[in-house]
Amino acid sequence: MLDWTDRHERYFLRQISRHALLYTEMLTTGAILHGHRERFLQFDKAEHPVALQLGGSDPQELAICAKIGADYGYDEINLNVGCPSDRVQSGRFGACLMAEPKLVAECVTAMRSVIDIPVTVKHRIGIDNRDSWNELCEFVETVARGGCEIFIVHARKAWLSGLSPKENREIPPLQYDVVYRLKQTYPQWQFILNGGLNDLPAAQAQMQYVDGVMLGRAAYHDPYLLSQVDALFFNDMHVVPDRCEIVGQLLPYIEKEIAAGTRLHAITRHITGLFNGLPGARAWRRTLSEQATRYPADIDVVKRALAQVKCNVL
C-alpha cells in the first residue's frame, strides 16, 4: 500500500471505524534513519490504534526504527516480509526475506529487545519454488522463536521475478486453506488472513478459521464498507455517521492541514471512493480529481464536490 495508507488516509478511515487497526504504508529503515523523519512518522492521535510497517533487513537498524516508532506512539511495529517488488528486493527486504527465516527472527528479536509494543510479521505462504508446507512451517517456527506471536499472512505465494507487484496480487492462486492449516498447527500464535477479501461478509466468514482479517485495496477503493466493521467484528453497535457526516467531520482537519501547507489533493485523493454506487458519485470524483490539484485549491473545492452528492453538512 505504498503511497496509499498515509496519515491523511488513516485519519479519514478513522472517521468510519473506531476500532479497525490501521497500518502505515511500508517505510524503509533508510527513510526513517536518513530521511525526513517527522514527515514520514507524524500522525494524529485520532488515528489510534495504528501500526508502523517497516521494511528492512538489518537487525540493528530495525531495532532503532522500532524504538523511534514506539516513541512516536505507534501501537504495533510490523515487519514487511511480503512485498515482492524489484525495488524492495534490491534493498534485501520484503518477500525475498522469506528465504532467510533466521535473519527475520534476528530482526524480530532485536526489535522486541527495545520496545514493549507488539512486533508482528507480514509474509506470503511461499516464494518462487520455496513454497512447500515444510518450508512455510520452518519459516513460521523460526520467526516465532525470535519472539513473533502474530503473523499476517497473504495467502498467495510470490514470484520474485517474472511478475509485477500487481500480477503477484492476482496470478498466484489464493490458498486460504494453507493459512487455516497454520492456525490449526500452531494454535498458540495468532494468524491474520490477508489477500482477496473484497467485502465484509467474505471477511467475516474467515473468522471461524483464523484470528483476524486484513483488508487493503477493497477498503481503499470503497472506504464506507468499513462502516460495519465495528459492529461485526468488535461488537460496538454505535451509530455510524453517514457519508455526508463523515466529510463534515473531515472538513476541520482539511482546513487545518491546508493552513499548515498541505496541498488539498494530498487529502482528497483518498476520499474519492466514498460515494461509490450512489447518485452523484461520478461528479463527486470528477470535481475532486480535477479541481483539488489546482493551486491554490481550498476547502471550497470539497464544498462544491459535496453539492454534487446533495450533501448539506456546512
Catalytic residue flag (residue 83)? yes
User: Which residues fall within 8 angstroms of residue 109, CB to CB, at 6 or more apart?
Assistant: 59, 146, 147
Residues 13 and 17: their CA atoms lie apart, in Å, by 6
Q: Cell numbers at residue 274, please? A: 466514498
**Active-site residue among 65, 83, 96, 148?**
83
Contact predicate 308/288, CB 8 Å? no
Closest CA to 21 of 104, 80, 100, 77: 77
User: Which residues fall within 8 angstroms of residue 309, CB to CB, at 6 or more apart?
Assistant: 243, 244, 275, 278, 279, 280, 281, 283, 284
Closest CA to 88 of 158, 135, 138, 170: 158
Q: Cell numbers at residue 211, please? A: 484470528
How many residues are recorded in the chain? 314
> Phi/psi class of residue 44: alpha, beta or left (left: φ > 0; alpha: ψ in -120 to 50)?
beta
Which residues are catalytically annotated? 83
